[in-house]
Each structure stands twice: as C-alpha cells, then as structure tokens.
Structure 1
Amino acid sequence: MSEKKIAFVFPGQGSQSVGMLSTLKDEPIVQQTLEEANEVLGFDLAKLIAEGPSAELSLTVNTQPALVTASTAMYRYYLSKGGRRPDVAAGHSLGEYSALVAAGALEFKDAVKLVRFRAEKMQEAVPVGEGTMAAILGLDDDKVKSVCLECAANGVVEAVNFNTPGQVVIAGTVAAVEAAMSKSLEAGAKRAIRLNVSGPFHSSLMKPAAIAMEERLRTVELRSPEIPVLHNVDVRLRSEADDIRGALSAQVSSAVLWADTVREMEKMGCTELYEVGPGAALTGMTKRITKGIAAKALNSKEALEEAASNNQE
C-alpha cells in the first residue's frame, strides 16, 4: 500500500488572535522565529502577538506579518518533532506566503518584509471607508457573479473569495457592495454579512497594490518550491521563480479560488488536510467542500505533536 498523501494549508487574515502562540511560547524554535520577525520589522511583534491589544494586532499592516510568523513557527515546530513535509501545500490569500516559506521557495525573513509591504499597499490602494467586503451565504457562485454585474451601476462590486459551495465573498465600493447584498437576499441568499475589514481586498480596486507588489517581488529571491504549492489565482502549480512572482502580484487584485484548491488536492490523491496556523477557518471550509479529505487544525502544541507522530519523516 502506498503512503498516504497529506496536504498542508495556511490561513489568511481573520484567523489572528491575541495569544495565538501561547501553547508554544517556551519552545526554542518558536522563540527563534519570533526573534527573526522582530529583527526584520524593527518592533516587538512577539509582544503584540502575546499581549495585544487586539485592535492593534488586527490592523492589516500588523496582521499580515503576524500570521505568517505564527504559521511558520507552528510549521517549524511540527518539523522539529519529526513530522514529514506535506505532499502539497496552499494558503488562503496571505497564507500563500506561509505555504511558499514551508516549501522552501521563499525565505521567512523575506516573506515577513513582503507581507508588511503588501499590507501597506493594499491599505493605500483605497482610502479607508470607501471600500468594503461582504459574505454572501446560500447562493451559488454563478448567481453571485450575476448579482455583482447587475449592481455595477452603483460602483465596483466583484466576487472575490470562492470559499465553499454557498459561501462567496464580494468586494468593492461601499454603495455597490450594499446594493449587491440587498439583491443577493432578494435572489434567495440565506444571509449577506458585511465584513469588518478596512478595504475591498482581492477586487480590481487593488490593482495599484498589485503593481507595487510586482515591482517589489523583483527584488526578492524566489526558488523552485521543494513541495508543490497550489496558487490562489488559478489553482495551478508553479516551479519557476518568475511565474511565482506573477501569481503573487496578481493575487492581490484577483479572486481566491479556495474551494477549487481543496478539490484539486483531492484529485491529487490527498486524503488528509492539516491547517497549520491559528484558528480553524480552513478546516471548517474543507469539511463543507468535500467529504473525501479528513481535515484537522494544527493550532496548538498538542495538535502539532500529534500530527507529527502520525506523519513521521
């Protein structure tokens, strides 16, 4: 019998919480990871992760490096316990940077600097208060897309996160998103929930940030990944550095095809999926996308050690 195939996925914004590394705070590999991040950023990210305040941790410019740091620390701890590397990796939006670090394609310190820059440029692209996002629950993908087209007269509104069947996130200018929320409910959506975010992320309004990322990525060394990484923009694998750069810059202003990413992992033969990082959002999504993959969140010392013992190198 061939060895089982496992997938690792890394969470994006929204999974952060104060104390998210509390069960691992005394582990040398985790402390080392936090020190590397502090050094790169020039401020005490470790203290912010451990103590908050929550409002400051939730600022995009802090959230993005904090999540890449927490996920990388957890992944390194898993490896230190003898866990084998996954057969395929992916990350939800921001989490794609954690996946590339895990795959050896991107240095951790470079990733931390990149996502801090990414956050700054995403925030600058649209003034706070002008753009927003909303989750539409209970409508299929095509219906949400058509609702967005119908509301185009109100401004920009686009389907930007295809998370699970019946859960699509839209983004755009405030008036257009609110119009699409109302029209979605008229079309039979169960709920339309405005998200607590500071911008219309992954929409075409993020194009200035995508262009800035394209320029910045040219200055960063990228290598061919040692583990296959599925990219958000098109659910494809990439081995060339320039192709990876292109996917990362396009990702800023393109939709996140998450449900298709999980389905692709299943097609590749994966039967187990582990979410490495704080929270359990992707674990919950996986269970709603397919019954063919067993999903588990590795968000504590105990869970990481158990996974490592079950998946020995």
Structure 2
Amino acid sequence: MKYAMLFPGQGSQSVGMLSAHNDPIVSQTFEEASDVLGWDLAALVREGPAEELNRTERTQPALLAADIAVWRLWQAQGLPQPAAVAGHSLGEYAALVAAQSLRFADGLRLVELRGRLMQTAVPHGEGGMAAVIGLDDAQVEALCQACPVDGVLEPANFNSPGQVVVAGQAAAIEWVLEHAKAHGARMVVRVPMSVPSHCSLLRDAAERLFAQMADIPFHTPVIPVFHNLDGSSGRDGAAIRVALREQLYRPVQWTRVIHALAGAGVSLFFECGPGKVLCGLNKRILKDAPAVPLEDPAGLDKARALLSA
C-alpha cells in the first residue's frame, strides 16, 4: 500500500503541542531548533505564552520543528519510506527537510526569515484572510472579482471542495465577511491571521526571501515532493527555490496536491505534525482514503497497524 506523509502548516500550533509523545526525540528536536535559532523555542512550545507562539516569525520555526520531531519519531519505527511527501504552506518546508532536499537547520533559519518578511510586508491591521464555505473554486474567484472595494482580494488556499480561503486588504476582507452569503456561501469565517498569506500583497516579500535562498543548498529530493504551487513533483534544487518563492504570493493548490498524490497511486495518508487539520481536509477531498493524524502515540499505533495489515 502506497502512503504519503502530509506536513501541516500555520494554524496547527498550540502551547504544549506534541506533549503526548513522551519521547526524547521530541524534546531533543526542539532543543536542537533552539540552538540553531539562538532563542528558546523549546520553552516557548512547552510553556507559551500563546500570544508569542502565534507571532508568525515564532510560529513558523516552531511548527517546522514539531513536524520534523514527528517525522523523526516515525523514522524510529523502522517503517517503510513513504511514496511521496507534501506540506501545506509552511509545511512544504518540512516536506523538503524530510525528503533530504533541505537541511533542518537551514529550514529553521529560512522559515524564521519567511515569517519576519511576511509580518512586515503588510502593516498590522491592513490585511487579513477569510474562509469561504459552500462555494466552488470558480464561484470564489467570481466573488473576489465582484468585490467593489479597491485593493487586493484573491483566493489564497484551495483547501478542499467547498472550502477556499481568500486573502487581501482589510476592507476587502470585511466586504467578504458581510456579503459572501448573499453570493451563495453557506458560511464565511475570519481566519485569525493578520498576514494576508498567498496573495499578491506578498510578492515583494517573496522576492526578498528568494534572494536569501541563493546561499542555501537545495538538493533533488530523495522522496518525491508534491508542491503547493501546482500539485506537481520532480523539481530539482533550483526549481524548488522558484516554487517556494511563488508559493508565498500564489494560492496553495491543496486539493490539486491530494488528487495528484492519489493519481500517483497513494491510497493512505498520515498527518506528520501537531493537529488534525489536513486529515479533515482529506476527508472532503478523498472520502475513501484513510488519513491518520500522528500527533499522539495512538496515531503511531494505528499507522503501524494499517501498514502491517
């Protein structure tokens, strides 16, 4: 049975994440990240406060470390290698680390910078995101085009059929929150992020990030990595840099990623990190393909049982 490892991104963090895994591998991974970054990531994850953990430049390296801690737990099980890996937004960096395309230390420094550039790209309070539920992709694109407010409003995350996140300037997001139901949406919810990710407001930040990537080695992955940008795999190191640049200001094509994995023969998915967000999305995208979260030991037990069945 072919399986894929999925790495969650921003929104899956919480104070105390992975505490159910009472394993030295987790604590050692957090301590390693602290040493690389020069600040106490381990204490922040363990003790909070949540307001500090939720700062984008803190969230991103903390989640990368959490994703890789679970990956290392998985590797310690001696289970077969996944047929492919993918990560949602920030999680794509964890996928690249797992696939040996990017060193863990380089990934930590890169996503910390990514978070800082994102946070400064749009002044606090001037941008936002909202999840639109109950409209298909084309209808959400039409909704964005119908917005009469001047400024950016674009699809940011094509998460699953009927769930698309939009991003843009604050006034445009307010319009969506007030008018999406009149355009046929079943529900619309503000996403608690001040940074309008994966839209053209972050193009300059993406170029600055890309410039910093020039000195970071990227290798051809040893496990196929399916990219947010278009759901494809097979990129070499140079092309991966370009994909990560464009990923920051173009929408996450997550539905396309999952369908591409299924088309490659994957029929089983594991969420490699804290939370269950990606498992929930998978149920909407591929109803018959099992998706198991690995956020606690029970998840690892279930995974072993599925792979040995």
- TM-score range relative to shorter protein: over 0.9
Which residue, out of 267, 270, 292, partners 2:266? 270
Residue among 87, 90, 93 paired with 1:94? 90
Counterpart residue number, 2:280: 284
Tell whether the 8 Å contact from 1:100 to 1:106 is kept in structure 2 after alignment.
yes
Say which of 141, 150, 171 aligns to 2:167.
Answer: 171
Specify the code of the residue in structure 2 equivalent to 1:243: A
For residues 198 and 191 of structure 1, the distance between their equivalents in structure 2, rounded to whole angstroms, comes to: 20
Distance 1:236 1:215 in 2: 24
Is residue 19–residue 51 contact of structure 1 (8 Å, CA) maintained in 2? yes
Q: Which residue of 2 aligns with 1:74?
A: 70
Distance in 1 between the 2:55 and 2:26 partners?
Answer: 23
1:199 has 2:188 as partner: no
Q: What is the CA–CA distance in structure 2 between the aligned matches of 1:168 and 1:152, rounded to whole Å?
A: 20
Shift in Å at residue 39 of structure 1?
0.8
SS in structure 2 at match of 1:143? helix
Q: Which aligned pairs between 1:42-81 and structure 2 lie closer than 5 A? A: 42-81=38-77
Q: Counterpart of 1:12? A: 9
What is the correspondence of 1:1-313 to structure 2 with a 5 Å cutoff?
4-25=1-22, 27-151=23-147, 153-308=149-304, 310-311=306-307
Unaligned runs of 5+ in 2: none
Deviation of 1:261 (Å): 0.8
Alpha-carbon distance in structure 1 between the residues aligned to 2:108 and 2:190: 29
Q: Is the 8 A contact 1:82 1:308 kept in 2?
A: no
Is the contact made by 2:149 and 2:171 (CA closer than 8 Å) also made in structure 1?
Answer: no
Unaligned runs of 5+ in 1: none
The amino acid that maps onto 1:237 is S
* Equivalent residues of 1:12, 1:95 under 8 A apart: yes
Shift in Å, 1:83:
1.9
Would the aligned equivalents of 1:82 and 1:309 in 2 still touch at CA under 8 Å? no
Aligned mates of 2:305, 2:122 — CA distance in 1: 46
Contact 1:9–1:282, Cα closer than 8 Å, also in 2:
yes
Deviation, structure 1 residue 38: 0.5
Aligned partner of residue 180 in structure 2, secondary structure: helix
Residue by residue over 1:252-310, the C-alpha shift from the partner in whole angstroms, topping out at 9 and shown as x without a partner, is 10100011111111111111000010000000000011123111111113322442464
Cα offsets for 1:148-197 (capped at 9, x unmatched): 11115431100110001111100000111222333321111011111111
Distance 2:15 2:297 in 1: 16
How much has 1:53 moved relative to structure 2? 1.1
Q: Deviations over 1:122-144 (max 9, x none)?
A: 01110000000000011111011
Q: CA–CA distance in 1 between the matches of 2:71 and 2:46? A: 18
CA distance in 1, matches of 2:183, 2:18: 42
Determine helix, strand or coil for the equivalent of 1:23. Answer: coil
Mapped contact 2:149–2:175 kept (Cα < 8 A): no
